[in-house]
Structure 1
Amino acid sequence: MLGFVTGLTAEASLLHGMDAKVAVGGGTPEGATRAARSLARDSSVSAIISFGLAGGLDPGSAAGDLLIPRRILDAAGTAFPCDNRLADMFGGVTADAMIGGGKVAVTPQDKMMLFASTGAVAIDLESAAVARVALEHGLGFAVLRAVADPAGRHLPPAALLALGTDGRIQLGQVVRSVLRQPAQIPQLLALAREAAAARRALKRALQAYRSSVSATGT
């Protein structure tokens, strides 16, 4: 059985109806480690998937692009290979490398520097932590994510305050930030549209996986 680590409860909801185990990490490396370890302790889990949204680094990528990388890089540049068999289950590898740790890339300049220095197409904060736990426990590992904020998107302040440690959106924090800086509203609306495109891409990938499993019985 597959285990999925997500940062957001909203991401976890996309997995409703899957024959899988799901753990929410809250969008931090520490939370992802805890979530992955809880799955690794479950004897029915044979592989762990890092699942959800990511920030685009490649200027050629767009919101909603599916991310199934060949390898994950941590903040120090250590590479963790993904399992090609697992990648194939979701449609096959779509990118060579992603960054799975460090800090949020807020500005287009931040994203450009990371892309230039690593060649990674996208970044999230959790995947390297999940990869480490999978390696420690001898479990398969892969990443299934989608670009939510493309390389040219500047993340507004409210977006950086939105996520609580339990993986839920802190609406009060977002509203207070918007009241302090109402000029960020257009950016927030654009980011919401881009995140919706990413969620649709993930839904399609999961539907393809379900169809494949139904057809092959594996």
Structure 2
Amino acid sequence: MPSDHAFPESCWGPGLGKGARVGVIVGMTAEGALLPPGTVWAAAGGVTRRVTELAERLLAEGAEGLLSFGIAGGLDPALRPGDVVVGSDVQWEGETFEADGVWKCRLLSGIPFSRSGTVAAVGRIAATPAAKRALHDGGASIVDMESGAMARVCARAGKPFAVLRAVADPADRGLPRSVFVGLAPDGSPRPLAVMAALARRPWELPGLIRVGLDSRAALVALGDAVKVVGPTLGV
């Protein structure tokens, strides 16, 4: 990660201090496994109520800010699997929450292959190109299921937040229904449930393979981003 002096002047200002405790919200345990050793993280499995509970718990336990971290769906047609996006703001249930200015600036400056974009948060998977297009028409670049509830908790608590995501499925690609059962509420994978769903809809196999490849590209990119910013996660 760049030294403090390597950050541009725009990345200085009030916010989280050096050494501040950061809590991380992920959707899947596979995302949490990419984080530096010692990072405090919690997996919500894409369940809004659980995101809220975990975010509140992390703050109550001493986190001074929260990071939403993981894969996302692409909404901007220019984004491809593996592209890394730092959230500028989050749209959730009619509200817009601004990410911490200094934190997002440092993430963008520290990860040279990242770009900024608005995050659309949803409670249900945006599974079709039409659903993604509608969100993109609202100004968002990516979509996920954790950032919205987490951002709202931070706003109510007066705490800063940031979003670091990598694109998995691009805007023009839909998701097979078999994917919907692949994640437990604790963020752990459910391969047997996916296999059972695939047995009922075997024609979804090519799409499921594509999802796996896209997700792998996103996870690799996230791992590379973490290596660049190091254990401070941009703080």
TM-score normalised by structure 1 residue count = 0.90
1:161 and 2:181 equivalent? Answer: yes
After superposition, residues 1-218 of structure 1 pair within 5 angstroms as 1-17=21-37, 19-43=38-62, 45-76=63-94, 78-92=95-109, 94-116=115-137, 118-210=138-230
**Deviation of 1:70 (Å):** 0.9
In 1, distance between residues paired with 2:105 and 2:229? 9
Partner SS for 2:216: helix
Q: For 1:26-85, what per-residue CA distance to the aligned partner results, in whole angstroms no more than 9, with x for missing partners?
A: 212111111111101112x21100111111111111011111121000032x10000122
Is the contact made by 2:36 and 2:226 (CA closer than 8 Å) also made in structure 1?
A: no
What is aligned with 2:17?
none
* TM, length-normalised to structure 2: 0.84
Q: Structure 1 residue 3: deviation in Å?
A: 0.7
Distance 1:178 1:112 in 2: 27
Q: 2:156, 2:132 → 1: CA distance?
A: 30
Letter in 2 for 1:89: R
In the TM superposition, what is the alpha-carbon distance from 1:148 to its structure 2 partner?
Answer: 1.0
The Cα shift of 1:190 comes to 0.9
Q: Give the residue type in structure 2 aligned to 1:84.
A: G
Q: Contact 2:108 / 2:116 at 8 angstroms: preserved in 1?
A: no
1:75–1:99: 8 Å Cα contact kept in structure 2?
no
Q: How far apart, CA to CA, are the structure 1 residues paired with 2:208 and 2:64?
A: 38
Does the CA contact (< 8 Å) of 2:34 and 2:223 recur in 1? yes
2:3 matched residue in structure 1 = none
Q: Any idea what the Cα deviations from partners look like across 1:97-135, whole Å, max 9, x if unmatched?
A: 11122421111111112212x120111111110011112
Contact kept? 1:156, 1:184, Cα under 8 Å: yes
**Residue in 1 that maps onto 2:5:** none
Q: Which amino acid aligns with 1:21?
A: V
SS at match of 2:168: strand
Taking the aligned partners of 2:152 and 2:93, their CA distance within structure 1 comes to 13
| 4+ runs deviating over 6 angstroms | none
1:8–1:167 Cα contact (<8 Å) kept: yes
